[in-house]
Structure 1
Amino acid sequence: MNLFFKILGYLFALLFTISAVLQYNDTDALRWIIIYGIAALISLAFALNKIGYVLPLVLGVLAFIAFLYLYPSDFQGFDLNDGDIATVELGREAFGLLIISIVMLVFSFRIKRKL
């Protein structure tokens, strides 16, 4: 595997792990810890070249569908001072899923390309 993608896998494994840890004080913490934890594990498996393309592809598609579902119709930004706290929180969660989706799809296409 290309060194760039190996580093990218380790980097996102670390970033998704940090994201999971930072969810501890959220009202729906367990859900987001699991979501970011799975993304971290898949990123680590990608970096170690221990995963096929199907699992990141499925997670990427599911995360994108969830992004579309959660994206608030009146997105007001990411800062709590920008608008309603519930809408801002929904926007943050949606864009977290978008990041997971993009990363997983990149990993999947990279794995598929190398087969």
Structure 2
Amino acid sequence: MNILFKILGYLFAVLFTVGAVLQYNDPDAILWVIIYLIAAVVSLLFTMRRMGYKVLLGLGFICLVGFLYLYPTDFQGFDLNDGDIKTVELGREAFGLLIIGVVFLIFGFRTKSKL
């Protein structure tokens, strides 16, 4: 595996773990802790070459669908001072799924290209 993708795998594993920890005050914290921890584990498995490209691409696609589902119709930014707390929360959650989805798709296409 290319050293760049190995570093990216470990980096995103750490970042997703930090994301899970930061969910402690979220209204639906358990759900988002689980999502971010799964993303961290999948990133580690990618780094160790234990994750197939079909799973990575499937999870990436599911995250993108989740992004489209959660994205608020009246997105008001990420700062609570920018708008309604519910809309801001949905925007943050949606973009979290977008980041996870894009990372998984990149990892998936990288894994597929190495077969």
> 1:12-38, CA deviations, whole angstroms, 9 ceiling, x for partnerless residues?
000000001111221101100111111
- TM-score after normalising by structure 1: 0.98
Give the number of equivalent residue pairs.
115
Distance 2:105 2:72 in 1: 23
Match of 2:53 in 1: 53
Secondary structure of the corresponding residue to residue 91 of structure 1: helix
Percent of residue pairs bearing the same amino acid type: 68
- TM-score after normalising by structure 2: 0.98
For structure 1, the residue ranges without an aligned partner over 5 or more in a row are none
Match of 1:14 in 2: 14
Q: What is the RMSD computed on CA atoms of the aligned residues?
A: 0.6
CA shift, 1:56, in A, is 1.2
Match of 1:98 in 2: 98
Match of 1:32 in 2: 32
Structure 1 consecutive aligned stretches of length 4 or more whose deviation exceeds 4 Å: none
